[in-house]
Amino acid sequence: MWQLSHSTTPDSDKHVAKNLELARKSVAALKARKDLGFFKLPERSDLWTTSENRAREIRKTSHRLAVLGMGGSSLGGRALMQALHKWNKTHEIEFLDNVDADRFWKWLRNTKDLQETHFVIVSKSGNTIETLTMAEFADQHLRASGFKKLSASATVISEFEDNPLMRWAKKEGVAALEIPKDVGGRFSVLTPVGLLPAAYYGLDLSQIREGAAWAFTQDELIARLTAQTLASFEREEWITQFWAYSDGLRDFGLWIQQLWAESLGKASDRTGAKAPRASTPMAATGSSDQHSILQQVMEGARDKFVWFLRVNQSENDTQKIEKTLFDCQTLMNGKSMGQLFGAMATATRDAMAKEGVQSLTLTTDVLNEKSVGALFMLFELVVGSLGEAMNINAFDQPGVELGKKLARGILTGESAAK
């Protein structure tokens, strides 16, 4: 599946070696926790079955799914769809994950077949102001356009608690799927949050589940990735660059940015003391971003640790150039695009190493349901293990609450100081 195929900082490096035992203990401590459910999701058959059954029902009456959700309620599903894109799809998905009024209304007003669109409203808390606002305006537009009200073609995904979204669903008879209480929003891709869109799109949930279950068994791989990261913090590399040599992993980069930043960027540890510093995550795609940010990585401050993600399928195609059109391209005669892609990835990694930029490389043979399911679970376990090693709560996000409070104050006209 996924393997740590290369590292410019081997396990014998003093920074990595001394953190490896801590990392192994952190993996064990994470898995021993009874309050966390994300790594138990492959065992929870009801979530997979209800997602598949509901998707089957929706597909009968629609050809488009419109997912209304913010952050973790959207990013995981988007990343799944992009990684496993179907070029001959019959059912499409639109993710509406920002209250940009211009874009939202252009989409809504220019979608002529809304009667064949099914809306999925995703909010773990059931009171996310952006998500509920999008739902309000979608309902308003549907009614004004002579279509059925929103509740006639909608599914809710939320915690099964008493919250505004669930109360509305119950009142209107809207089908609801559960986000378990012990699974945080940014860890929810393997709940109906990601599984319903995946099943609607025609993906094989059993393979996603099998991949996630595989990742759960990879304690040594999780520990080595955790140790490498802790070592990078000791080297004061405060940017962790996730550089995917696969177009299918562009949105995965956005997903890992949220998972990493919200989980590890904390002011206090679990004792109330100042938390250890964690890096800032950044996503890049090769080879396109070699033409945008590589200069900064190569000649800027030595404060970056790079994770390369490579997919053999993208580098091993057999279609080759028979005769080049351009005189500067003779080196490509008899070569494939995949060979060029692989050469770029290897050369970039090696050039960084020569300039003192440390990196590791994770490789898989192919992007499919199994490998993508494994990748999601693998990163969740690494981030959770880092939280244990750093003695922080990796499963809350207190830093985002103030902004929400101030926004509500602006809308109600109340003093920001209250």
Q: Point out the residues that are catalytic.
A: 262, 291, 404
The DSSP element (H or E) to which 45 belongs, if any, is helix 45-61
Pairing of strands 92-96, 154-158: unpaired
Give CA angle at 24 (20, 30), nearest 5°: 140
Evaluate whether 28 touches 35 at the Cβ level (below 8 Å): no
DSSP 209: H
With a CB cutoff of 8 Å and minimum separation 6, the contacts of 174 are: 151, 154, 155, 156, 168
Q: What are phi and psi of 155, to 5 degrees?
A: -135, 140
> Among the residues of 62-145, which ranges form H helices?
75-83, 101-110, 129-144
**Cα separation, 279 vs 260, whole angstroms:** 9
Residue type, 337: M
Q: In the numeric block, which tokens belong to residue 110? A: 């220019």
Crossing angle (nearest 10°) for helices 192-201 and 75-83: 30
End-to-end CA distance of the chain: 52
Host H or E run for residue 27: helix 14-32
For residue 4, give Cα distances in angstroms to 1, 54, 121, 306, 381: 10, 37, 38, 13, 15
CB 263 within 8 A of CB 383: yes
254 contacts 416 by C-beta, under 8 angstroms: no
320: Cβ contacts below 8 Å, ≥ 6 apart: 334, 335, 336
Q: Give CA–CA dist 139/385, Å, rounded.
A: 42
CB 124 within 8 A of CB 159: yes
Could you tell me the CA-to-CA distances from 127 to 38, 130, 197, 328, 404 in Å, in that order? 22, 9, 21, 58, 12
